[in-house]
Structure 1
């Protein structure tokens, strides 16, 4: 187990067809033995379930009598807006995980549309962390506000500087060509005045 802070993404479900799938994105603080994050429950049954809550709680390490290794006893609560909110808690979880936070079983409940749903003995496993597809890039700033301000002020030097930044971005990612051509045309028009 890591010392300090670490992130884990867990999935919990049982083998019943159409049963909900719980995904936990958790930040674990091993110094204070606290946990916080997001819980999402999804089921494609009718009516579909698409529940989400901010969660918080704590954990302890326990040695079960029949086992040689340590286990994690995890307790979580949750609501749509966090622990300091006046909104009632809509999520509860209790479970036992392996010391590596990668397996175990949980019982949880969630409230959706005013009705409480209970899921018992859901198997826990590591959930894949979504990664961008190869060749895709993270969004880059497009400098729209800076362009508008430079254009509104009539500051030609500032406008040229913003366009140069965009050109550098274009050289890296090749996605802004037509927008930069329009900006260069606007600069040429302003210079012609």
Structure 2
């Protein structure tokens, strides 16, 4: 476990098809043993659920008699606008996690449209973190000015040259292929005159 301040993302769900999925995005302060963040509950099957709340709470570390490692007892409360709001709480969670915050079990409840929904003894897993990969974006001249000038002047040879240069540069760019096809159609229309 980290010391100080760290972020963790937990997924709380069971393996039943169509069951709600709770995602906790938490900032953990190990010095004060306080937790804050966002809870989001989703359910794709009818009735659909799209619940979100600001959450806050605390945790304690305990050593169970039968276990070698420490466990985390997590208590969270939540509402749509945070702990200082006058809006009533709409979310509660009690859970027991491994000392590494990577697994465990939790019970939670949330209020949506005036009705409380209770979910008991659901598995907690740490979400996979995905490092963003840089996407190569080569500099590609678009010859837009040359094409526009050729179109306005009516110079068919200049327009063909600009389109050919663009095709050479953008041969591998599928998203811009349709724009080149439109330019070729314009060339064909001008040639037909």
Q: TM-score, normalised by structure 1?
A: 0.69
The alignment covers a number of residue pairs equal to 147
**Distance (whole Å) between structure 1 residues aligned to residue 141 and residue 106 of structure 2:** 48
**Distance (whole Å) between structure 2 residues aligned to residue 82 and residue 115 of structure 1:** 20
Offset at 1:178?
8.3
For residues 116-155 of structure 1, the aligned pairs below 5 Å read: 116-129=116-129, 131-132=131-132, 134-135=134-135
Offset at 1:16?
2.3
Q: Which residue is equivalent to 1:151?
A: none
Offset at 1:37?
0.4
Q: Which secondary structure does the structure 2 equivalent of 1:17 belong to?
A: coil
Offset at 1:132?
4.2
C-alpha distance 51-176 of structure 1, shift in aligned 2 (>3 A): farther
Offset at 1:47?
1.8
Offset at 1:176?
9.6
For residues 29-40 of structure 1, the aligned pairs below 5 Å read: 29-40=29-40
C-alpha distance 178-93 of structure 1, shift in aligned 2 (>3 A): farther
Q: Which residue is equivalent to 2:56?
A: 56
Q: Which residue is equivalent to 1:65?
A: 65
Q: Which residue is equivalent to 2:44?
A: 44
Q: Which residue is equivalent to 1:152?
A: none
**Distance (whole Å) between structure 2 residues aligned to residue 173 and residue 78 of structure 1:** 46
**Distance (whole Å) between structure 1 residues aligned to residue 120 and residue 43 of structure 2:** 15
**Distance (whole Å) between structure 2 residues aligned to residue 48 and residue 38 of structure 1:** 19
| 1:60-105 deviations in Å (ceiling 9; x for gaps) | 0001122121100000000110000011100000000000000000
Q: Which secondary structure does the structure 1 equivalent of 2:81 belong to?
A: coil
Offset at 1:129?
3.4
Check if 1:78 corresponds to 2:81: no
**Distance (whole Å) between structure 2 residues aligned to residue 11 and residue 175 of structure 1:** 41
**Distance (whole Å) between structure 2 residues aligned to residue 175 and residue 113 of structure 1:** 51
Q: TM-score, normalised by structure 2?
A: 0.69
| Cα-Cα RMSD | 2.4
| 1:164-184 deviations in Å (ceiling 9; x for gaps) | xxxxxxxx87489689x6xxx
**Distance (whole Å) between structure 1 residues aligned to residue 78 and residue 23 of structure 2:** 13
Q: Which secondary structure does the structure 1 equivalent of 2:19 belong to?
A: coil
**Distance (whole Å) between structure 2 residues aligned to residue 127 and residue 11 of structure 1:** 6
Gaps of 5+ in 1: 137-171, 182-193
